[in-house]
Amino acid sequence: MDKIVIRGGKPLSGHVPITGAKNAALPILIATLVAPGEHRLSNVPDLVDVSSMLSLLGRIGCPSLKHGSDVRLDTTRVSFCEAPYDLVRKMRASVLALGPLLARCGEAHVSLPGGCAIGVRPIDQHLKGLEALGAEFELSGGYVHARTSGLRGAHIVLDVPTVTGTENILTAAVLARGESLIENAAREPEIIDLARFLRSLGAKIEGEGSGSIRVQGVHELKPAAEPHRILPDRIEAGTYMVAAAITGGDVTVTGVDPRDMGPVVEKLRAAGCLVELGTDRIRVQQSGDLLPVDVTTRPHPGFPTDMQAQLMALCTLAKGRSVITETIFENRFMHVPELARLGADIQVEGNRAVVTGVEGLHGATVMATDLRASASLVLAGLATEGPTEILRLYHLDRGYERLVEKLQAIGADVERVPDDLRDRIPTSLSATVA
């Protein structure tokens, strides 16, 4: 397995172009199923999760072509209404096939995603919403087998504003007979992007982003004439903004929508950073001491759980005590023991982590079991004395396009070392690895 080696301590400076959002691209790619024909998408990030979603679509019978960030996808025929275990196992977001397949084929067989490193992650709300729209489910052999003799509009009140649950229900409702109202719907920008995409196919949707989404079902949807541009990745942008802060640097993320970055901007300012907002860019400058910040993760428009680990990395070097409370996922502190290996002082009590800033972090070999935890280790590595080696890059490849190249372009001393080049690892680290 490849690894990343970072020799930290260099202030980063320059511009980082932000790619399309993973969590918008995935639901939109699979939602193309509701409109048979040829679809074009732009600003699609080059990520392992995107390749997995295109493989799933290929398995369903829909071939695709990806050139850079442009994707062409042909959903004229569907030959297989299944998201099999081998793909769901690699990418939990395959559960997003449930709504689109039901709407398109009247049936869907989707392997149960099960829990994952960050929590149990049930799909009861997905099933509740789709059942209200007229689907029937049977759980057997590790699969959800869903069938409907015709979807019809319904009033659905979600118990929790689940992101992918809202996406599954919305994508099914656009082809249901009559009106649907989804209340306590997730309000994330990625939901708004999905609604915008579905509307470009002819869907009738109102209220996305408000928590109350109203859908008038239509009989048929058609691919849009113009390509749909995936919205920018606010989590990728936030990660590079923290990279500027943690290295005492001066970094501008470009191609972003600052309106979606409010909670992250607010916390970086509270941490003592100078943050300037442009129309499609954000500049973050940091010099002097980092201040402690308290953060509680919340559904949008609150502070995103997907930025919690990165912000914690920043807090490890603040002058004082920060309290980080995770309310979305019950097990999203797996970066804590790894950050501790780099010298961080963090005490976890239930869903609260108390981070006492230290004078400096030191290099070590670390690995993480989820995507954002891995990102937090990269950020900490950028600030350590001595080299840090990050193992198990699988997660980073799922969610950050060209991470090493982008960091190198703003001055980081970082490289990806293929497994067969172990002897390029600095001697101080080979001892730790052995």
Q: Which amino acid is at 38?
A: E
Helix (H, G, I), strand (E, B) or coil at 145: strand
Write down the residue that tokens 């299944």 correspond to: 82
Query: Smallest distance from the beta carbon of 250 to ligand EPU, in angstroms?
Result: 27
Helix (H, G, I), strand (E, B) or coil at 274: strand
Site for ligand EPU in 278-317 (CB under 6 A): 305-306
Helices and strands, number each (H, E), in the chain: 15, 26
Distance CA 93, CA 113 (A): 8
Residues in the chain: 434
Nearest to ligand EPU of 215, 400 (CB atom): 400
User: CA–CA distance from 314 to each of 196, 219, 295, 405 (Å)?
Assistant: 35, 51, 12, 22
Q: Tell whether omega for the bond before 301 is within 30 degrees of 0, i.e. cis.
A: yes
Options 267, 335, 372, 406; binder of ligand EPU; rule CB under 6 A: 372
Nearest to ligand EPU of 148, 162 (CB atom): 162
Nearest to ligand EPU of 165, 249 (CB atom): 165
Query: Smallest distance from the beta carbon of 156 to ligand EPU, in angstroms?
Result: 12
Query: Smallest distance from the beta carbon of 395 to ligand EPU, in angstroms?
Result: 9
- Residues with Cβ within 8 Å of residue 129, at least 6 apart in sequence: 156, 158, 165, 168, 169, 172, 182
Kindly state the number of chain residues that form the binding site for ligand EPU, as judged by CB under 6 A. Answer: 23
Of 304, 236, 233, nearest to 266 by C-alpha is 304
Nearest to ligand EPU of 371, 377 (CB atom): 371
Nearest to ligand EPU of 166, 316 (CB atom): 166
The DSSP line for 305-367 is: GGGHHHHHHHHTTSSSEEEEE--S-TT--THHHHHHHTT-EEEEETTEEEEE--S-EE--EEE
Options 16, 284, 371, 414; binder of ligand EPU; rule CB under 6 A: 371
SS3 content of the chain, % helix, strand, coil (to 5): 35, 25, 35
Distance CA 319, CA 211 (A): 38
Site for ligand EPU in 182-221 (CB under 6 A): 186
Give the DSSP H or E segment for 105.
helix 98-105
- Catalytic status, residue 105: no
Nearest to ligand EPU of 351, 356 (CB atom): 351
Distance CA 38, CA 59 (A): 17
Nearest to ligand EPU of 133, 163 (CB atom): 163
Q: Which stretch binds ligand EPU (CB under 6 A): 141-149, 157-165, 172-180, 309-317?
A: 157-165
Query: Smallest distance from the beta carbon of 374 to ligand EPU, in angstroms?
Result: 10
Give me the catalytic one of 62, 81, 105, 116: 116
Query: Smallest distance from the beta carbon of 400 to ligand EPU, in angstroms?
Result: 10
Query: Smallest distance from the beta carbon of 264 to ligand EPU, in angstroms?
Result: 13
Options 69, 162, 171, 239; binder of ligand EPU; rule CB under 6 A: 162
Site for ligand EPU in 88-147 (CB under 6 A): 93, 119, 121-126
Query: Smallest distance from the beta carbon of 126 to ligand EPU, in angstroms?
Result: 5
Options 19, 23, 180, 252; binder of ligand EPU; rule CB under 6 A: 23
Q: x/- site string to ligand EPU, residues 222 to 261, per CB under 6 A?
A: ----------------------------------------
Q: Are 130 and 99 in contact (CB under 8 A)?
A: yes
- Residues with Cβ within 8 Å of residue 191, at least 6 apart in sequence: 163, 166, 167, 170, 185, 208, 209, 213
Of 116, 108, 109, nearest to 92 by C-alpha is 116
Burial grade of 316 (CB within 10 A; 0-12, 13-18, 19 or more) = buried
Query: Smallest distance from the beta carbon of 26 to ligand EPU, in angstroms?
Result: 5
Residue 7 touching ligand EPU (CB under 6 A): no
The residues that touch ligand EPU, with contacts defined as CB under 6 A, are 23, 26, 93, 119, 121-126, 160, 162-165, 186, 305-306, 328-329, 371-372, 399
Instruction: Please give the positions annotated as active site.
Output: 116
